[in-house]
Chains A and B, each alone.
Chain A
Amino acid sequence: MAVAGTTPDSVTLRAEGGVARRQAWSRASRYILLVATLLGLVVLVILGIDNAIVGIPSLDWDFLSNYPSRFAERAGIRSSILGSVWVLVFTVIFAIPVAVGAAVWMEEFAPQNGILTTVRLNIANLAGVPSIIYGILGLAVFVRLMELGPSILAGALTLALMILPMTVITSVEAINQVPPSIREGSLALGATRWQTVWNHVLPGAMPGIMTGTILAVARAAGETAALIMIGAFTFIAFDPSLSFHGLLDSFTTLPIQVYNWTIRPQPEFRANAAAGIIVLMIAVIGLNALALVVRDRLRRN
């Protein structure tokens, strides 16, 4: 029914008045929200550019191969790179078997009762414990009680406990994604439950476990507070020795060295800190990218 007395000459679909305003707001909101989403990344880009400008002039072979020094232009990151690598290698050796073992038990063997629920909740809570608390734990248990001192071994054990919860969680997820039909097929052919886990479940879960491991290593590689707590804020001008006894040597790591240069009052150390940050960021971003690649490649196979 036409409205009395008026006949519109043309019908238009364009909204008017309040509706048009609401639509305009909605269209604009897309860009406002996008800008807000990108703002954090903009800060990261500025951070990268700032450190590149300040740090790249100092970033040469001497910087990589020199020991730290009280003269900024002679100081380098040799002992901190070696320390980082050495501590991380042992962190992985300690953490990964335990994390995968715990995840296998939780997913494949644990009785479905209160014990399993307790273990699950416990791990979820441990994942939220601040790293400095793991540092206190390492100080009291590994450094003092077990008398390891602020050594590579104590540092690796502390970091291993710190990354354990997140590694267990990612391993549990990876094992969970192996289809039950694979287990049933193996069991139907007469394999024991352990043979099934070892030959079929773990290989299937490997991409997820490796991705989680690499991300955990990236986190441990950037950790500073926990290692300072155990007493690793020291001046190291020697290479860690590649012996069992070398595990009891004191050490420094790249983030600790960056911290050291950051809090020095002399401005000439600022370039060293920035150059150290560039190396650290390349390592961390590289590990994150590697995790993505490993996940994609192994998933495709």
Chain B
Amino acid sequence: MALASSPDGSDLSRAIRKRPLSRPGESLIMLSLVLCAAVSIATTFAIVYVLFADAIGFFQEISFWHFFNPGNEWQTLFNPRSFGVWELVLGTVNVTLWSMLIALPLGLAAAVYLSEYAHVQTRRFLKPLLELLAGVPTVVYANFALTFISDDVLLPLFGDSVSFFNSLSASIMLGVMILPIIASVSEDAMASVPRDLREAAYGLGATRLEVAFRVVFPAAISGIMAAILLAIARVIGETMIVAVAAGSTPTLSLSPLESIQTMTGYMLQVALGDAARGTTDYTSLFAVGALLFLMTFVLNVAAQIIVRRFREAYE
């Protein structure tokens, strides 16, 4: 028979895949499985359609140039209203910058420690604990950023030069939130660096520190880049922390001590108010949402491409 004449594993599985579905009703099951997989495709189409259909409505009223002109403010509360999105984008850049400045050194240190220094048992114990940081509901971080970090730490520390709502308190908690993403993706990359490289370096008299930072770190750099991109995507999409703690004043400032507003912060503000359907307030939600979606999409795709490339390098 066909199966017996092809002992090779891949031929066997190919032959099995071609086997007819013999029992009645199984084609119905198959159809429902295909539909399940189709749900994910439909979701993507729905997201794109929903965002861009209403965003087009927005751009019929507000010109593209007005939206992207860095000279325009984002001022939607009273007339004359102005929709210059750069103030919101810069708010997002502001918290991204400061949270990465906090999370990057700590996350990479954690990755190096877990991959190059820690005993197996220590790693088994520390890793789930560290990953818990990404599982904490963000509204909990938001509350802590406002009531503790801002009120009890930053206000006594900086006095009048820091506003009650400030980007730094949000950035600190965003940094804590993305620590495990940076640590765990980078650690995976470092763990897949071949042993030979380490042993060669030790053989030449390198210390553990030198092996970690001059051999393993550069060899894992593409995985680390992917970790950074994923973390940035997570930060720019996060809503509650920035909406609660960073303020609601759109501004072009990158200062950590000022009150700012991010793209997500603005979106939540619109949702909390009652913008009637079809108004510019309502459609601006979709225009900002579409921009946010594009930004996270580009970051995620870039991270995937980098990860795929780096996997091939050592296999």
Contact = CB atoms under 8 A, between A and B. Distances in A.
Interface of A: 19, 22-23, 25-26, 29-30, 32-34, 36-37, 39-41, 43-44, 46-47, 50-51, 54, 97-102, 104-106, 109-110, 118-119, 121-126, 128-137, 139-141, 144, 161, 164-165, 168, 180, 183-184, 187, 192-195, 215, 218-219, 221-225, 228-229, 231, 233, 255, 258-259, 262-263, 270, 273-274, 277, 280-281, 284-285, 288, 292
A41 B133 contact: yes
B64 interface: no
A130 B176 contact: no
B109 interface: yes
Given A36-B113, A119-B40, A47 B148 contact: yes
Contact of B33 (A102, A125, A140): A102
B106 A26 contact: no
Contacts of B101: none
A133 B126 contact: no
Interface stretch (B70-78, B190-198, B252-260, B284-292): B284-292
Most buried by A among B36, B47, B133, B176: B36
Contact of A225 (B240, B293, B297): B240
A39 to B, nearest CB: 6
Interface stretch (B81-89, B202-210, B217-225): B202-210
A118 B42 CA distance: 12
A41 B32 contact: no
Contacts of B301: 125
Contacts of A133: 47, 51, 237, 289, 292-293, 296
8 contacts: A36-B113, A41-B130, A46-B148, A128-B296, A134-B47, A137-B50, A224-B139, A225-B239
A98 B296 contact: no
Contacts of B26: 192, 194
Contacts of A51: 140, 144
A165 B21 CA distance: 28
Contacts of B132: 44, 285, 288
B16 A193 contact: yes
Interface of A, secondary structure class, is helix
Contacts of A274: 143
A161 B106 CA distance: 33
A290 B199 CA distance: 40
A245 to B, nearest CB: 26
A33 B138 CA distance: 26
Given A119-B41, A192-B21, A218 B135 contact: yes
A164 B180 CA distance: 22
A26 B237 contact: no
A143 B222 CA distance: 42
A25 B207 contact: yes
B46 to A, nearest CB: 6
Interface in B21-50: 21-23, 26, 29-30, 32-37, 39-41, 43-44, 46-47, 50
A102 B272 CA distance: 35
Contacts of B180: 40
B44 A125 contact: yes
A263 B244 contact: yes
Contact of B240 (A22, A50, A218, A224): A224
A280 B144 CA distance: 14
B33 A109 contact: yes
B271 A231 contact: yes
B163 interface: no
A25 B47 contact: no
B43 A229 contact: no
Contacts of B105: 36
